[in-house]
Amino acid sequence: MTRPMKSPIISLIRLDEPTPQHDGWICTPHGRDSCTRDIVAVAELQTKDAVQPYRVCEAWLTENTRAVAYLAENGYDNR
Ligand SMILES: [Zn+2]
């Protein structure tokens, strides 16, 4: 189950290379228990009072409609 994400993405940065999850470096939307994939990007989400970093795996980038729309419109912010 993916936690619903209501906050808009304000940036999406592709990592230089996929990084295995470790310690506190986990897939934010899927959580430690349901995702063992490598982290491939970091999204910044604008919540009500803060900008929250979201570490995400490749699957999230294709299953999350906001991420798909963001990439279609903007691409990665570091490319
Ligand atoms: Zn994941």
Token look-up 């994939």 returns: 37
Pairwise CA distance, residues 79 & 74, whole Å: 10
Which residues line ion ligand 1, judged by CB < 5 Å?
27, 30, 35, 57
Token look-up 């970091």 returns: 42
pLDDT bracket for residue 79 (50, 70, 90) = low
Q: Is the per-residue pLDDT at 1 higher than 60?
A: no
For the segment 15-35, what is each residue's pLDDT rounded down to a tens digit? 999 999 999 899 999 999 999
Q: For residue 5, what are its two tokens? A: 């994400």
Pairwise CA distance, residues 48 & 14, whole Å: 24
Q: Say how many Å lie between the CA of residue 59 and the centre of ligand 1.
A: 6
Pairwise CA distance, residues 39 & 61, whole Å: 11
- Asked whether 74 and 14 are in contact (CB, 8 A), the reply is no
Q: Say how many Å lie between the CA of residue 67 and the centre of ligand 1.
A: 13
Supply the pLDDT for residue 67: 96
Supply the pLDDT for residue 6: 73
Q: Say how many Å lie between the CA of residue 41 and the centre of ligand 1.
A: 11
- Average pLDDT, rounded, for the chain: 92
